[in-house]
Structure 1
Amino acid sequence: MSLRVLSPRLAGCVALLVLATPAWAEPAPPATAPAVVGSSAQAALPAQLQDFGAYVDSARKQFDVPGIAVAIVKDGQVVLEQGYGVRELGKPAPVDARTLFAIASNTKAFTAASLQMLAEEGKLDMDDRVIDHLPWFQMSDPYVTREMRIRDLLAHRSGLGLGAGDLLYWPPTGYSTREVVQHLRNVPLATSFRSAYAYDNILFAVATLVIEQVSGQGYADFVRNRIFKPVGMDESLIDMSQLKPGMDVAMGHARFNFAELKPVPPMAWSNNAGAGGIYASVHDLAKWMNLQLDGGKLPDGKRLFSEESQKQMWSMLIPMKIAEPPVPELRDMRPNFAGYGEGWSLSDYHGQRLVWHTGGWPGMVSRVTLVPELKLGVVVLTNQESGAAFNAVTYRVLDAYLGKDKKDWVAAYAAAVKKSEGNADDSWKKHEAARDRNSKPSLPLAGYAGRYRDPWYGDVVVSQQGGKLRMAFAKTAQLAGSMEPWQHDTFIVRWDDRSMNADAFVSYSLDADGKVREVRMEPVSPLTDFSFDFQDLRLAPVKAGKATKAE
């Protein structure tokens, strides 16, 4: 998922740069022709963007992105909506303005808008307690359970750690949305309630259930009927399961083993749609951006939501720490403030307020950026896991409309990517240096096999097959792989699905009698997406014959 400085797949919104990889060896596909947005569209672009197509293609080549789609809106008008490159590597079908991409966590703004719309109708109050609408809702701390408000679900200030609970639905699991939320009672908190920002997805599953409970409709039906239809987002879909053969849709691409770029199949996400399920085109998202920039007003003059609701969505609920840019080339983008509202990130750039979000999905990452005071919006959708590409494109557009000199953001992000990759290499070298290659496991392999249970995830099974150990997460089909000894009682599990780039150390703790007391895990690479929250698992052996607890 792979915004990599804070990795993005589901979250995406906090990363300011992302891992990417070297340019393709083969020639890049040609850019497609611009979508028809009016004869004056090209003329409306600032002079800095007259070579925009060539610039986007340079970003595609540098960061190995087969296809990119971009839309720019200004003062209520669509001044550019265009596709560049191809939908799938090795196939000729071009990306255009109507190509559907998974927008992942950019879905969160739709979830926030849905709740505000229901609040305007008097069906809830944003400061209602969650238990007022879902009496069975429970966090691991009774105080947080009692005090969690609807607004808190959207703000990443619950006390949960970064990506906490993501393994309940990422990669796709067999849990229902309600089961995901029921497991929250066992997900530990990392900080005090409302004391710190930490990006999560699981509370948007709670928000999804609140919307369904209050509206009497499924989340997909509510968003489709109450948002997509009035806004005119006729091409947008709630989930991959709605894709049909022959649709104009991009295929995601990932670097298998952090190396070879290959397509990855679309992923259906039915148990947390409110956190990141939507598929949309830049053509439709241009309408969404204009709605936002016009304070919730629809083209016919009616309102989807009020200016007051938008003010709440765009008000900072929790500040974020501002880190120094990893390389000098990115110094210009360091904000003076940063925080999170309701489904939106908030910061500034050269004195202008930005309201924005990113999203990451298997093989796709994206960014939506609004500059409210300039009535400016830009959306960049990509079909590769490189946030460096969408950031380089976004900042070129922002500079053009802010009257700044041209800056080669492609080169700037390439420098950041190089450093990020170097840090990952250093991390692996440290592991190698610390490894005792002469050590052997304390037990025969059969001693490590068994069924293990984590309080919040559930069961993980380790079996001995053909003289080797295999690990399988009971509710996650993709999390199956072979284990190889690393040192002492630690193994590395290498997942069969090499697109995930999420191999993990598996460390056994033994009791005084040489029996397994606990199993802990952690990602091998710092480039692994944070949604693989293996480090939060506390796996204990399950006694033979003990049934899995039904949820």
Structure 2
Amino acid sequence: MKTSRFTSIAVMCVTVVLLLSGFVCANAEPQLYRTARRIARTEVWNDINSGRAGSATVAILDGGEAVYAEGFAMADREDSVPVDPGTVFNIGSVSKVYTATAVMLLVGEGKIDLDAPAVRYLPEFVMADPRYLDITVRMLLNHSSGLPGSIAAGNFGFQYNAAIHDETLAVLSRTYLKHDPGAAAVYCNDGFTLAEMIVERVSGQKYMDFLASRIFEPLALGHTGASVGDRTVRDAAAGVVAAYYRPTTGQKEPFEAVSFLGSGGLSATAVDLARFADSFSSAGAHILSEPALREMRKSQPSSSAGKLRNPELAYGLGWDMTYVPEYQEQGIQVLGKSGGTGNYNSMVYTVPDERISVAVIETGPGGRSVKIALSILDAVLVEKGLVKEKALSVSVPPKPEVIPDEYAAYCGYYILTGGGLANVSLDREANRFRVSSVLGGMEVPATCLYYSEGAFYSDDSQLYFATVDGEQYAAMKSSIGFDMVYMRRLPAIEVPCSMAMEMNGKQWLRRNVKPFEGALLANSHLVQSSTIETLPGYVDFFGIKSTGSCDHFHSPSAICIIRRCSPAGLPFQRRK
């Protein structure tokens, strides 16, 4: 009886100690970042509970110190391993900023000239389009090269593709540019693959070895390296890796390997990612010279910039944005870069003058890391008195007006930014613009737009039509405040060519499918080609293409990201 009473008292004491310990830890958190922590926890768990993400990690650095770092959910469900601040995730296209940094290190040593032709450093780089000789190193890093986009085949999956450099050069050798080099800024992965190759050629080191010795080690980024699918095979020090589980089945995916090292093939913890972003402040630990830091913080506009109604997405060297309009108006510069792969999504923001950085990484392609990271950053800036708190407002839908007659000129076929095709038509009786997706030669209603005060609205978006340098566009205003081209009018071909073979309704098997490719590329394995009777001279074949002659076709648009194909060089074989 005495033993039982003693045991009960002991258990009660331990329980009280544990409760007090939790209370002390909770209150030990800095009050300054209380709102930011609340937003992080609320929004991340919202993503996880809704199925948009499976797990996540968040970090806030202030003055070079990690003032908040937390993991959410499980890194490994089978072994009950939770995500913590040391858990590694793929960071996708945030890798581009590391590539730009690597190039700028070599620029600082006088080994690379940003405005020299890329072929000076990579003479084996050739294209079917002679304009490629005008592509500079800078254009590779600010998305203005005119390269088609992404040679993805074999480079997203569960094993590193050691042939990626040779395959990239081979495909580009029979490819045409989307636009004149420097004429437009269109997101492009292949430019960073070429930049990765230039770093290797100029430095004499393997790309990952260069990053390790010149970036990771000097900045103490001990958890940063190649993508998790590559690291878990060859790097015993990879640590705990966040696995991706399919939300519908709970099935664990193999660790994802991304072979585009320069454009999307790195992994890191949120703390490492925020610490890397902090290196762009001259006040803290940094590896770039002052001139290089200034260059990395500058907007890198193309010759077409500034022609929409509002500021366009301000690409930098590797960065998606070199400022955010609402903060720029208050004297605060923000650099930002997002990343997404088949299994992960990420976002990092940094305020270099204040040494504040926020990083959010999630498993799952559907997470809202971009929005969550910006909300956290805003809370930190408000709590520190650097920006004004946003006033609460109620959005009232604008009152529909009669669509002016001049907008009838904008009816027709458009190429979406992702390469898809849409048809815009005017329904006078309903006083609406109707937008239909064109899939397999068939038109499927997508949305209706009503007009008010120079813009068109649907339930969840706003866009406007504009003519720039003789080209017709539809542009949308993003939540961050930038205008973004949504689609471009497809020009009529005056003398259309007919293909030597019938393309309508044919199915094609991609002949270079690798056994380790991920689900992200599954829709490219079997492709149907189709023609559109009212759109002569074009073929819908893994994105809309114009027929250049009877035996080849290519991308007609500066915003279409699919590369040129020809029957002789196609990675497709017609299905019998």
Per the normalisation by structure 2, the TM-score is 0.62
Structure 2 residue 511 is the aligned partner of structure 1 residue 473: yes
Pair 57,349 (structure 1): closer, same or farther in 2 beyond 3 Å = farther
| 2:239 paired with 1:252 | no
Secondary structure at the residue paired with 1:379? strand
SS at match of 1:230: coil
Alignment of 1:69-468 (within 5 A): 69-88=57-76, 92-145=80-133, 147-161=134-148, 163-167=149-153, 169-170=155-156, 175-239=163-227, 240-243=229-232, 247-253=239-245, 262-270=251-259, 272-294=260-282, 297-298=284-285, 303-318=286-301, 336-346=311-321, 347-351=323-327, 352-402=332-382, 405=389, 434=443
Change (3 A) 1:293 1:186: same
Distance in 2 separating the partners of 1:184 and 1:356: 29
Deviation at 1:226, TM superposition (A): 1.2
**How far does residue 159 in structure 1 lie from its aligned partner after superposition?**
1.6
Quote the Cα distance in structure 2 between the aligned partners of 1:380 and 1:305.
24
1:337–1:348 Cα contact (<8 Å) kept: no
Q: Which has the higher contact order (CA 8 A, sep 6+)?
A: 1
- Report the secondary structure of 2:186's partner residue: coil
Q: What one-letter code is carried by the residue in structure 1 that aligns with 2:294? A: K
Question: 1:315 Cα shift?
Answer: 1.3
Encode CA deviations 1:230-258: one digit per residue, 9 max, x unaligned. 11111222243221579300112456xxx
Structure 1 residue matching 2:173: 3-state secondary structure: helix
CA distance in structure 2 between the partners assigned to 1:133 and 1:248 by the alignment: 38
Letter in 2 for 1:312: E
Q: Distance in 2 between matches of 1:473 and 1:242?
A: 28
Q: Distance in 1 between matches of 2:268 and 2:261?
A: 14
Aligned residue for 1:28? Answer: none
SS, match of residue 207 in structure 1: helix
Residue 167 to residue 44, structure 1, CA distance change in 2 (3 Å): same
The residue that corresponds to 2:487 in the other structure is none
TM-score by length of 1: 0.65
**What residue identity is the alignment partner of 1:383?**
T
Kept in 2: contact 1:86–1:92 (CA 8 A): yes
* CA displacement at 1:343 relative to structure 2: 0.6
SS at match of 1:152: helix
DSSP 3-state at the match of 1:78: strand
The one-letter code of the counterpart of 2:258 is: W
Can you give the 5+ residue segments of structure 2 that lack an aligned partner in the other structure?
A: 1-20, 393-421, 423-434, 445-505, 532-537, 545-559
Kept in 1: contact 2:277–2:350 (CA 8 A)? yes
The whole-number CA distance in structure 1 between the counterparts of 2:339 and 2:514 is 22
In structure 1, runs of 5+ residues without a counterpart are: 1-32, 325-333, 409-422, 436-467, 480-495, 510-517, 525-532, 547-551
Provide the aligned C-alpha RMSD in A: 4.5
Letter aligned with residue 345 of structure 2: V
| Aligned residue runs from structure 1 range 7-26, under 5 A | none
Q: Which has the larger radius of gyration?
A: 2
Question: Mapping of 1:509-528 within 5 angstroms?
Answer: 521-522=541-542
SS class of match (1:79): strand
Structure 2 distance, partners of 1:64, 1:323, is 36
- SS where residue 318 of structure 1 aligns? coil
Match of 2:30 in 1: 42
- Aligned residue for 1:350, secondary structure, equals helix
> For this pair of structures, how many residues does the alignment match?
420
Deviation at 1:534, TM superposition (A): 8.9
Kindly provide the CA deviation profile for residues 84-120 of structure 1, in whole angstroms up to 9, marking residues without a partner as x. 1122467632111110001111111111111111122
Residue 322 of structure 1 deviates from its aligned partner by 9.6
